[in-house]
């Protein structure tokens, strides 16, 4: 095992009664990686995150943070992890500052630096104006930023973001994206982000693990994964379905078009096509 890896996971499984939600996944991340876990709803993304962060116990498999076993060293490991859950689980009756202060106590940040650390982060994220306001007054996007900021307070080595932009409008989504990218670049924090949005995975992630039915079906950087099936798609709009053919160049795609009597469209390959190619179905139905 490589101890330089922030996180090493082997054979991770979670079984509920007769169905495996996560069916033996393995991967390793090194420092500063920006990884996406891409898959449809119900593929096992959240279950995986919950096991990696200690919210649920795996049925089988091992999790190591910097080479030490998560189950045995759970408190030391938990101090290295930042978690942004799918729901904004802030205390709505507390102010932004109080929410962050609570987190600071939980993670053993020394009394003398708590307030200073909180104010630095509020500045870093542009939320300084919200410091003393009750969270229940915040918009969805502001809450989201505060949840992310809270996860950063103890300076984690790895940040888990579970569907960070679900339910946000496109403009706010961009703000959150920029913020996450900034965290990765400025703080060199390793990031694992789950998403079922193709665009999110393609724009942000340097590496994508594609998950389906509890298993990781492919792992690589988005460009290489797309190259693997060809760079261009010819969409043939038949009466009751859309057929897709893959080509390495636009010219080849256009050449194939000559024989067709249907409406056709040539476009660049996306990760959605990769998923479709591997599973026979689409991510977002």
Q: How far is the CB of 79 from other proteins (least distance, A)?
A: 4
Is residue 184 close enough to count as binding other proteins by CB under 8 A? no
Q: Give the integer Cα–Cα distance in Å for 236 and 127.
A: 48
> Quick one: 112 exposed, middle or buried, by C-beta within 10 A (0-12, 13-18, 19+)?
exposed
Is residue 83 close enough to count as binding other proteins by CB under 8 A? yes
Is residue 60 close enough to count as binding other proteins by CB under 8 A? no
The site for other proteins, by CB under 8 A, has a size of 29
- In this structure, how many other beta carbons lie within 10 angstroms of the beta carbon of residue 185? 11
CB nearer other proteins, residue 57 or residue 258: 57
Is residue 85 close enough to count as binding other proteins by CB under 8 A? yes
Is residue 17 close enough to count as binding other proteins by CB under 8 A? no
Q: How far is the CB of 77 from other proteins (least distance, A)?
A: 8
Interacting span for other proteins (CB under 8 A) from 76-84, 217-225, 262-270, 275-283: 76-84
Is residue 81 close enough to count as binding other proteins by CB under 8 A? yes
CB nearer other proteins, residue 100 or residue 201: 100
- In this structure, how many other beta carbons lie within 10 angstroms of the beta carbon of residue 1? 10
Q: How far is the CB of 127 from other proteins (least distance, A)?
A: 18
Structure tokens at 83: 């978690």
Is residue 56 close enough to count as binding other proteins by CB under 8 A? yes
3-state DSSP call for residue 19? strand
Structure tokens at 168: 């946000």
Residue from the set 89, 188, 249, 284 that interacts with other proteins by CB under 8 A? 89
Is residue 92 close enough to count as binding other proteins by CB under 8 A? yes
Q: E strand or H helix at 183, and its extent?
A: helix 170-187
Is residue 98 close enough to count as binding other proteins by CB under 8 A? yes
204, 212, 256 from 230: Cα distances, Å: 21, 21, 14
CB nearer other proteins, residue 91 or residue 251: 91
Is residue 78 close enough to count as binding other proteins by CB under 8 A? yes
> Site map for other proteins, 193-232, x if CB under 8 A?
----------------------------------------
Residue from the set 69, 91, 123, 129 that interacts with other proteins by CB under 8 A? 91
Residues 101-140 that bind other proteins (CB under 8 A): 101-103, 105-108
Is residue 187 close enough to count as binding other proteins by CB under 8 A? no
Structure tokens at 71: 């189950």
At residue 216, what are phi and psi to the nearest 5 degrees? -85, 120
Is residue 69 close enough to count as binding other proteins by CB under 8 A? no
Q: How far is the CB of 97 from other proteins (least distance, A)?
A: 10
Chain residues that interact with other proteins, rule: CB under 8 A:
53-57, 74-79, 81, 83, 85, 87, 89-94, 98, 101-103, 105-108
């Amino acid at each position: 095992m490589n101890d330089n890896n922030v996180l090493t996971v082997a054979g991770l499984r979670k079984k509920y009664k007769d169905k495996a939600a996560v069916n033996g996944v393995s991967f390793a991340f090194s420092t500063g990686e920006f990884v996406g876990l891409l898959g449809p709803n119900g593929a096992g993304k959240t279950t995986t995150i919950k096991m990696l962060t200690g919210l649920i116990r795996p049925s089988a498999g091992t999790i190591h943070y910097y080479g030490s076993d998560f189950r045995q060293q759970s408190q030391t490991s938990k101090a290295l992890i930042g978690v942004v859950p799918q729901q904004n689980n802030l205390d709505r009756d507390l102010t932004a500052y109080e929410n962050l202060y609570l987190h600071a106590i939980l993670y053993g940040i020394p009394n003398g630096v708590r307030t200073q650390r909180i104010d630095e982060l509020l500045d870093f994220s542009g939320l300084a104006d919200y410091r003393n306001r009750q969270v229940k007054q915040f918009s969805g996007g502001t809450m989201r930023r505060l949840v992310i900021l809270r996860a950063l307070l103890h300076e984690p080595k790895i940040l888990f973001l579970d569907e960070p932009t679900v339910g946000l409008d496109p403009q706010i989504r961009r703000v959150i994206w920029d913020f996450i990218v900034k965290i990765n670049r400025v703080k060199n924090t390793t990031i694992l982000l789950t998403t079922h949005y193709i665009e999110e995975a393609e724009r942000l992630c340097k590496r994508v693990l594609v998950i389906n039915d509890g298993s990781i079906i492919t792992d690589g950087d988005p460009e290489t994964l797309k190259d693997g099936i060809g760079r261009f798609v010819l969409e043939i709009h038949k009466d009751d379905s859309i057929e897709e053919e893959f080509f390495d160049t636009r010219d080849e795609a256009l050449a194939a078009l000559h024989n067709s009597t249907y409406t056709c469209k040539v476009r660049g390959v996306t990760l959605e096509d990769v998923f479709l190619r591997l599973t026979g179905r689409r991510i977002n139905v």
